[in-house]
Amino acid sequence: MIEQQRETEIFNRLKKVDDPELPSVSIYDLGMVHEVTIDDNAHVAVTLIPTFAGCPALDIIERDVKNAIEEIEWVKSCDVTFSFDEKWSTDDITEEGKQQLKKHGVSPPPENYQPGEEWSVDCPYCGSPYTSMENVFGPTACRSILYCRSCRNPFEAMKPVVSYTAS
Amino acid sequence: MSLVETAEQAKQDAAYKEALVEVLYQLADDDFIISYRGSEWLGLAPHIEEDVAFSSITQNTMGHAMLFYQLLEELGEGDADALAHERISNERRNGTYFEIKNGSGTYLEEPQYDWALAVVRNYLYEAFKKVKLEEALKSSYAPLRNTADKVLMEQPYHLGHWKTWITQLQDSSQEAKERIQSRLDEAWKQIGDAFELGPKADDILAKEILSSSETLKQRWLDSVKETLTYVPNGDLASELGNGRAKEHTDQLDQALATLSEVYNSDREAVW
Ligand SMILES: [Zn+2]
C-alpha cells in the first residue's frame, strides 16, 4: 500500500513539472513520462520519452524532474533517463494537457493527421475553424504559427507528429 | 535473416556489425553535414520566416544525426559527440554532393551563397532521406528500424518545406527557372555516390540491413519526378568522388576545420 502511495506521490509531482517551452503544461500531460520505478532504498528512476530530436529543452527537463523528485522527503535520489526506443507522438498528450495548451493560446495538435499532409486547427481563443498557416516552423521545433481570420489573432499550435508504421 | 534486437547481439557477429556500422555512418554523416551547411545560412535566408524555418530544420536534423551516432556508440564505435565532431574527412561516409559549399565566400567573409543551390540540394536530400529511411524500416537491425520510424515522424515537415520552395521557384520567373535547372544539372552529376552502399554493400544486402542501391535510386527518381517539372537527361554521376568509400573534396576539410574550431573552443557545451 505504501508503495502505491509513493508512486502516486511521484506522479503528482511529475504533473507539476512544466515543459520549459510550454509553461503551465506539464511533461506528464505532454505524454513524456514512460516509466517510474522505486527501489527498496528509496531510489527513484524516471524514464522519459524525448519529444523532438535535437530539442534543446531536454536537458532542462531532465534537471527539473530530478530536482522536483528529490525534493520529496522520503526520496534518497532520483535518476532521469530518456528512452530512445520509445516514440513520442502528439497523440500521447492528455485531455488535461490539451486544455492547458488552449488556455495559453496554443492549439492542441489536430486529430486524424496524415504524415506529410497539410493540416489545420481551430483558433484557441474563439474556436473558429477559419485559420491559416503562417509558418509551420514556429519558435520551437514542436510548434507552428497560425492566424485566426475570425478574431484576427495570431496563435500557435502544437505540430502533429505521428508514427508512420502505426498508421 | 532473423531480427537482431540489440547492439550486444549485433556485436557477436563481426561481419554483421561491420556492415551495419557502414549504414549507420552513412545516415549519421549525411544528416550531420547537411545540417552543418544549413547552419551556415543562419541569418542569411531570404526572409525572417525562412530563417526561422531553416534553422528549425537544421537543429532537428542535427538531432537526427545524433540519434544515429548514438546507435554507433552502443555498438562500441566511441562517444557520439566525438563521432560527430572529431572524425577527419577520410573517415566520413557522407555523400559528396551534401558537403560542397553553399556558394562563394565564407560565413564570416562575404558569404555569396546561392539560394537555388540550397533549395535544390535540400529538396533532393530530404526526398532521398525519406526513401532510405523507409527502406530502413525493413532492416534486420531492430534499433535502426526504431530510429528510422522516429525520424520519419518528424521529417515530413522538412521535405514538405523544400518541396514547396522548389515547386514555387521552378515555375516562377525565367531567372529562377534557369537557376534551378542549372543547379539540378549540377546535382545530377554529383549526387550519384549518395545511393551507393559502400565497401560492405554485399553484406549489407545479404544480412538484410538495407535495400539495394538500385532500389534507393529508383524509388528516389520516381519520387522527385513527381515534383520536378525539369529532370536532367542522363544517368546520375559522382564527379566529386565516392563519399561512401570515404573519398571527399577539400570542401569537407574546410567545413570540419571550421566546425572543430567551435567544438574545441567549448567541449562541455551542449549541442
Ligand atoms: Zn479566433
pLDDT in tens, B105-162: 777 777 889 999 999 999 999 999 999 999 999 999 999 999 999 999 999 999 999 9
Q: What's the CA gap between A2 and B126, in Å, rounded? A: 52
At A64, which CATH number? Answer: 3.30.300.130
* Minimal-distance CA residue of chain A relative to B154: A161
Specify if A92 maps to a domain. no
The string of DSSP codes covering A46-114 is EEE--SSTT-TTHHHHHHHHHHHHHTSTT--EEEEEE-SSS---GGG--HHHHHHHHHTTEEPPPSS--
Q: Check if A58 contacts B (Cβ < 8 Å).
A: no
A134:B157 CB<8 A: no
Separation of CA B196 and ligand 1 centre (Å): 51
Q: Smallest CA–CA separation between B239 and chain A, in Å?
A: 33
A116:B159 CB<8 A: yes
Percent of all residues in chain B with a pLDDT value above 90, rounded to a whole number: 87
Same domain, A77 and A114: no
A137:B62 CB<8 A: no
| Residue A138 in this model has a pLDDT that exceeds 90 | no
Q: Give the angle subtended at the CA of A44 by the CAs of A41 and A45, to the nearest 5°.
A: 130
**Number of other residues whose CB lies within 10 A of the CB of residue B267:** 10
What per-residue confidence (pLDDT) applies to A107?
Answer: 94
Sign of the Cα torsion A52, A55, A60, A63 reads: positive
Chain B hits for A134, Cβ within 8 Å: 49
Q: Please indicate whether residue A110 or residue B208 has the higher confidence score (pLDDT).
A: B208
Same domain, A66 and A117: no
Separation of CA A147 and ligand 1 centre (Å): 8
CA distances from B251 to A140, B20, B106, B241 (A): 31, 27, 11, 12
Asked if A89 contacts A142 with a C-beta cutoff of 8 angstroms, the reply is no
pLDDT band with cut points at 50, 70 and 90 for residue A130:
very high
Range of the domain at A148: 106-158
**Number of other residues whose CB lies within 10 A of the CB of residue B192:** 21
pLDDT band with cut points at 50, 70 and 90 for residue A1:
low
Q: Smallest CA–CA separation between A62 and chain B, in Å?
A: 13
Asked if B17 contacts B141 with a C-beta cutoff of 8 angstroms, the reply is no
| Residue A167 in this model has a pLDDT that exceeds 70 | no
Q: Give the angle subtended at the CA of B132 by the CAs of B58 and B113, to the nearest 5°.
A: 35
Arithmetic mean of pLDDT, B174-192: 97
Asked if B180 contacts B230 with a C-beta cutoff of 8 angstroms, the reply is yes
Separation of CA B104 and ligand 1 centre (Å): 46
Specify if A13 maps to a domain. yes
Q: Smallest CA–CA separation between B71 and chain A, in Å?
A: 10
Of A59, A135, A136, the CB nearest to B270: A59
Specify if A89 maps to a domain. no
Q: Check if A134 contacts B (Cβ < 8 Å).
A: yes
Arithmetic mean of pLDDT, B3-26: 97
Specify if A97 maps to a domain. no
What per-residue confidence (pLDDT) applies to B271?
Answer: 44
Length of chain A: 167
A154-158 and B103-104 as β-strands: parallel, antiparallel, unpaired? unpaired
The torsion angle over the Cα atoms of residues B158, B164, B169 and B172, rounded to 10 degrees, is -170
Specify the range with the lowest mean pLDDT, choosing from B41-50, B74-83, B101-110, B207-216: B101-110
Q: Please indicate whether residue B268 or residue B185 has the higher confidence score (pLDDT).
A: B185
Same domain, A71 and A123: no
Separation of CA A150 and ligand 1 centre (Å): 5
Asked if B25 contacts B199 with a C-beta cutoff of 8 angstroms, the reply is no
Q: Among the three residues A34, A67, A82, which one is the final residue of a domain in this structure?
A: A82
Sequence letter at residue B198 = G
| Residue B266 in this model has a pLDDT that exceeds 80 | no
A54:B150 CB<8 A: no
Backbone angles phi, psi at B32, to 5 degrees: -65, -50
What per-residue confidence (pLDDT) applies to A23?
Answer: 75
B67:A53 CB<8 A: yes
pLDDT band with cut points at 50, 70 and 90 for residue B269:
low
Q: Smallest CA–CA separation between A1 and chain B, in Å?
A: 36
Q: Quick one: which H or E segment has residue A156? A: strand A154-158
Same domain, A66 and A120: no
Contacts of B150 (CB under 8 A, 6+ apart): A53, A84, A87, B67
What per-residue confidence (pLDDT) applies to B231?
Answer: 97
What per-residue confidence (pLDDT) applies to B260?
Answer: 80
Residues 38-57 of B with CB under 8 A from A: 49, 52-53, 56-57
Residue with cell 520549459: A20
What is the number of structural domains in chain A? 2
Q: Smallest CA–CA separation between A53 and chain B, in Å?
A: 5
**Number of other residues whose CB lies within 10 A of the CB of residue B122:** 26
A44-81, pLDDT tens digit by residue? Answer: 999 999 888 878 888 899 999 999 999 999 999 999 99
CATH architecture label of B8-265: Up-down Bundle (1.20)
Q: Check if A133 contacts B (Cβ < 8 Å).
A: no
B52:A138 CB<8 A: yes
Separation of CA A123 and ligand 1 centre (Å): 5
What per-residue confidence (pLDDT) applies to B267?
Answer: 61
Arithmetic mean of pLDDT, B56-61: 94
Locate B35 and state its grid cell.
545540417
Average pLDDT, chain A: 90
| Residue B174 in this model has a pLDDT that exceeds 70 | yes
Q: What's the CA gap between A58 and B261, in Å, rounded? A: 25
Of B60, B153, B159, the CB nearest to A87: B153
A136:B161 CB<8 A: yes
A131-135 and A143-148 as β-strands: parallel, antiparallel, unpaired? antiparallel
Of B62, B67, B137, the CB nearest to A84: B67
**Number of other residues whose CB lies within 10 A of the CB of residue A23:** 9
Specify if A101 maps to a domain. no
ipTM of predicted assembly, 2 dp: 0.83
Backbone angles phi, psi at A81, to 5 degrees: -130, 155
pLDDT band with cut points at 50, 70 and 90 for residue B259:
confident
Arithmetic mean of pLDDT, A85-103: 90
Specify if A126 maps to a domain. yes
